[in-house]
Each structure stands twice: as C-alpha cells, then as structure tokens.
C-alpha cells in the first residue's frame, strides 16, 4: 500500500488551465472517489497520478516518493479503464496474466497466480473464453483481474462502470467495494455518477471546472455541502436553493415574493443581515396548511414515494413525499420546512456561511416554525 499526496497540481493545455492547483492527501488503504461532471478535470487528474499525462506544475508523491519524472510503470499503479482495454485475441487467462508473462514469470507460477485472481473475481469458469464471449460485467472483472495480479501499490479506476447497464453497475459497485475491503489497496476512483461516489467512497472529492469544491465523507458532502455547487450536485435531487434576505434579529429569511421562512439561529449564530441563498433537502419538505405557498408543476413517481415539483417565489422546489399525492398542474401547494433543516450560503460566492455544527438528532429538536408575510 501507499499514500498519495498532491501539492498544487496544475495542468495547462496551451493557454488554458484545466486543473487549478489541486491539493489532496490520500491515506494508506483509503478509497477516494473523484466526482464531477464531464470536463471538470477529474480524469486528467487521475491520468497525471498514473503518469499518462505530464503535470504543468506542482508535485505528486506516491508512498512518500515524488513521481513527477517517473515513468508510469515505475509508479506502482494499476489502472482500470472505462472501455476495458482487453486484448480480443487472448483468452481471459492470457489477458489477466499478460503483465506477468512480459515480466518473465515462469508459466507454472503465472498459471497459479491467474487462477487465484480469477477465483477471487468469480472468473474461474471463463478462463478459456475470449472477451467477445463475455458480458460487460465479466469483461470489467477481467480488467480488474489484470490490474490485481500486479499487486500494485495503488488502484486507479477511470469511470469503469460507465459502459454497463444499471443492474450490472449495482453488482459491480458491490464487487469493487468487497475487493477493496479484502485487499486494502489505496484506491482512486473517478466517476460522474454520484450514486457510485456515495456508495463506494471513504471520502469524496467534488470537482468543478478544474477546482476542488469539497473533500469529505459521503455524509459530510451530503449533509454539509460547502458550496451551492456541491449542494445542487449531490443528492437526488440536489438541495433546493432559493435567494432570500436574512433578518438575524428575527431569525427569518424573506423570499423574493415576501414569504418568510424561519431558520435555526442557534445553528447559524454569526451571519449578518442581507442577501443569502437558503437551501433545504427534498426529504425535509412536508405538506402542511398555512405553510410556504406555491403551485404544483408535476410529480415524478418513485413507487412508494413521489418527487413533487412546485414553484415557490419564482423558484423550483422539490419535495420527497411518501405515498401517493394527487395534484393537477397549477394546484396550490403549501410546504413546511423545519428551521433546523434550513442551510445558509453566501449569495455572492456560493460558499456555506459559518455556523455551529451540531448532531442531526439535536438540531431536529427545534419545533418547525414558518412565518408568513
């Protein structure tokens, strides 16, 4: 195993900087997921760690050793790609053992190692097949086996599940997590899928336009997003975000149409009067009379629950409600949000405002209050 340290790592193509001074520490045996949309620089960052892309500035260290000038084969990393990158003319056994063959390992020893790796991935019965005779999930496991057999210091995954159907993605997430628990190898995993990130990661690195927006556990980035970007990106759906004006003396925020919503002053003791962006999760919203008034737009059916979309103060608000609720477009809606569930962000920068961090069980003791204009 090895730790990974990135210090002010930058990447520029021509005059365009695509990775802007990333600093990150990954501990021995940690599984860290780099999450972000297409074009945010996450795969570029991974390829720089692997040595497949040169860095423009900064420093990358693996196991305490700076690797900026080291060739990919010298870094002790094994990479699993999105497109499997298997040799189509080779069998599963030959694909898995190819690196050992090139390294000159005796055939008997190589066969034994291939057998052990294949067994751990449930591939023993497919060793004589070629990639074209396998399913997508089996091919991805072959790619993982080819990486595993090298016993690397670091596993690097570049969106390895993107080509799989939904059911296989779930199964492969379980396989990857079990593999990590069994091997304990330091792992860096890139994806644009937040479900993959939330279910796999020890910590998540959320990137946006080449910048790291937040680093934290899945619980941290979900419950305490540091920016409105993270708030809107993490969660299905993301945080409801509405512009408002704070009145710290009264402990309320006023929306654009004059409606007012209470927040927990004990949780946000140091904010000032003026414009803010408020946020709250869809599951924190409940239907209640004399609440925040708006109108119904449409509903997404989830089986045992619904995502109710409505317009409030000119903004879209989504509520996650259990059961079946029947509305027609344009029907009035009345939502309630507990003060303890209201989060506050700077209206200009989008950064989370300073506040007291308290356990969720404690913050939910506050009585839901909604003050109407």
The answer to whether 352 and 345 are in contact (CB under 8 A) is yes
Cα 49 to Cα 152: distance, rounded to the nearest angstrom = 14
More confident: 67 or 84: 67
Cα 25 to Cα 5: distance, rounded to the nearest angstrom = 5
- Mean pLDDT, rounded, for 119-148: 89
- Residue 344 CB burial class (10 angstroms; 0-12, 13-18, ≥19): buried
Kindly state the tokens that stand for 4.
């990974």
Listed residue (254, 262, 239) closest to 318, CA to CA: 239
Lowest mean pLDDT among 17-26, 174-183, 300-309: 174-183
Taking CA atoms, 169 is separated from 138, 163, 195, 218, in Å, by 12, 9, 10, 19
Percent of the chain at pLDDT exceeding 90: 69
More confident: 295 or 146: 295
In this prediction, residue 262 has a pLDDT band, given cuts at 50, 70 and 90, of: very high
pLDDT in tens, 143-173: 888 888 888 899 999 998 887 788 888 888 8
- Mean pLDDT, rounded, for 71-92: 89
230: left (phi over 0), alpha (psi -120 to 50) or beta: alpha
pLDDT of residue 84 exceeding 90: no
Q: Which domains does the chain have, with CATH numbers?
A: 4-228 (3.40.50.300), 237-363 (2.40.50.140)
pLDDT of residue 368 exceeding 70: no
Query: Mean pLDDT across the chain, nearest whole number?
Result: 90
Residue 370: what pLDDT? 38
First to last CA, the chain: 59
In this prediction, residue 174 has a pLDDT band, given cuts at 50, 70 and 90, of: confident
Taking CA atoms, 213 is separated from 3, 5, 22, 157, in Å, by 22, 18, 10, 21
> 76: number of CA atoms within 13 Å, CB side?
18
pLDDT in tens, 178-213: 888 888 999 999 999 999 999 999 999 999 999 999
Cα 292 to Cα 313: distance, rounded to the nearest angstrom = 9
């Amino acid at each position: 195993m090895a730790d990974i340290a990135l210090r002010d790592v930058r990447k520029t193509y021509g005059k365009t900087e695509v990775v802007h001074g990333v600093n990150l520490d990954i501990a021995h045996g940690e599984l860290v997921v780099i999450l972000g949309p297409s074009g945010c620089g996450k795969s570029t960052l991974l390829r720089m760690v692997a040595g497949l892309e040169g860095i423009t500035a900064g420093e990358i260290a693996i196991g305490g050793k700076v690797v900026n000038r080291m060739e990919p084969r010298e870094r002790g990393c094994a990479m699993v790609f999105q497109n499997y990158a298997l040799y189509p003319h080779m069998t599963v056994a030959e694909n898995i053992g190819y690196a050992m063959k090139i390294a000159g390992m005796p055939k008997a020893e190589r066969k034994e190692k291939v057998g052990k790796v294949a067994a751990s991935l449930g591939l023993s019965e497919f060793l004589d097949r070629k990639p074209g005779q396998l399913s997508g999930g089996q091919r991805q496991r072959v790619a993982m086996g080819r990486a595993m057999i090298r016993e690397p210091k670091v596993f690097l995954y570049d969106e390895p599940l993107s080509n799989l159907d939904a059911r296989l993605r779930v199964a492969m997430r379980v396989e990857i997590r079990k593999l990590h628990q069994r091997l304990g190898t330091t792992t860096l995993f890139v994806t644009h899928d937040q479900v993959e990130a939330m279910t796999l990661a020890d910590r998540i690195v959320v990137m946006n336009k080449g910048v790291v927006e937040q680093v934290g556990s899945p619980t941290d980035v979900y419950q305490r997003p540091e920016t409105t970007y993270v708030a809107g990106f993490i969660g299905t759906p993301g945080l409801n975000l509405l512009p408002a004006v704070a009145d710290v003396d009264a402990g309320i925020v006023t929306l654009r149409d004059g409606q007012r919503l209470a927040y927990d002053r004990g949780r946000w003791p140091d904010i000032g009067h003026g414009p803010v962006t408020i946020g709250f999760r869809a599951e924190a919203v409940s239907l209640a009379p004399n609440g925040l008034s708006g109108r119904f737009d449409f509903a997404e059916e989830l089986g045992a629950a619904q995502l109710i979309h409505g317009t409030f103060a000119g903004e879209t608000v989504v509520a996650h409600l259990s059961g079946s609720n029947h509305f027609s477009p344009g029907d009035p809606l009345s939502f309630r949000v507990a003060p303890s569930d209201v989060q506050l962000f700077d209206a200009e920068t989008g950064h989370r405002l300073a506040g007291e961090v308290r356990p969720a069980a404690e913050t939910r003791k506050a009585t839901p209050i909604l003050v109407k204009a």
